[in-house]
Amino acid sequence: MQKSSVNTIEIYFQWWLKEMIDSGYIKEYRREPETLIVAPVASYGRYKRFKRKEKEIEQFNLLPEIKYTYDYIVIWNESAEYLFYEEDSDSRIFSFGKPKFLAHRKLIDLNYETISYVDVKPTTAVQQRGGKVSSAISFPIKQRMLWDSHRIYINKVIPIPMAGTGHTIALFCTTFTPQRYLLTDGGGQRRKIKFPILSLKEFTTKKATYINNLLKNTK
């Protein structure tokens, strides 16, 4: 499988991932590791008729299969549990509200790991402005189909606010802003950032305090 080129917002997400790896919250990540079958080929039969022998039934593809290649698989360390992810369970109940990432158990290189599937996207406003309306429409459909048919959840990640939108959902706003992003892409100057900035340490301390207070003050 030939991998697509890495775009700018994916580079920003990789900066976030690298800081998480350096801090021990993530083991590793892999880009475009596999293509999933969202829906198989829909086959149908039709009669094939002959002059001198009995008719036969031949199969043909009424509908093609639907494939989907997610952007990243993130392999978590246990220290990130509840701070960044919560594992999918039969109870379908989150312990501390919806986590930033929903995770699954998956066999990776002969070991069972806690992983998250990730699709990295700009804000919807930017997708539509850039002419990628089809992706904005098709992704949530494929996301839902994979959940319903395979119990696989694809986490949509929007790294930064764009075009004045995304401040309440962007990864850098709702968790922490990686240190590398504080500098311009070339790395020579401080970047002008128009949203509140938290370091990784500040975010994890704040989140741990929130969880501990919930456990302490509720039944």
Mean pLDDT, residues 114-142 taken together: 81
Q: How many helices (H) and strands (E) does the chain have?
A: 5, 10
Rounded Cα–Cα distance for residues 93 and 86 (Å): 10
Which pLDDT belongs to residue 219?
Answer: 77
pLDDT above 90 coverage of the chain, percent? 86
Q: Per-residue confidence at 128, pLDDT binned at 50, 70, 90? A: low
**CB neighbour list of residue 214: distance below 8 Å, 6 or more residues apart:** 96
Q: Is the pLDDT of residue 1 over 90?
A: no
- pLDDT (tens digit per residue) in 132-153: 667 778 999 999 999 999 999 9
Which pLDDT belongs to residue 2?
Answer: 74
Q: Which of 27-31, 72-76, 126-130 has the weakest average pLDDT?
A: 126-130
3-state secondary structure 127-186: HHHCCCHHHHHHHHHHHHHHHHHHCCCEEEECCCCECCECCCCCHHHHCCCCHHHHECCC
Tokens of 71: 């952007």
Which pLDDT belongs to residue 175?
Answer: 98
Q: Is the pLDDT of residue 86 over 60?
A: yes
Give percent helix, percent strand, percent coil of the chain, each to the nearest 5.
30, 30, 40
Rounded Cα–Cα distance for residues 27 and 17 (Å): 10
- pLDDT (tens digit per residue) in 150-209: 999 999 999 999 988 899 999 999 999 999 999 999 988 999 999 999 999 999 999 999
CA-wise closest residue to 190 among 179, 176, 203: 179
Whether pTM > 0.85 for this model: the answer is: yes
Mean pLDDT, residues 53-78 taken together: 96
Mean residue pLDDT of the chain comes to 93
Which pLDDT belongs to residue 38?
Answer: 96
Which pLDDT belongs to residue 149?
Answer: 94
Task: Report the Cα 38 to chain-centroid distance in Å.
Answer: 16
Query: What's the CA dihedral at 138, 87, 162, 5 to 10 degrees?
Result: -60
Q: Is the pLDDT of residue 68 over 60?
A: yes
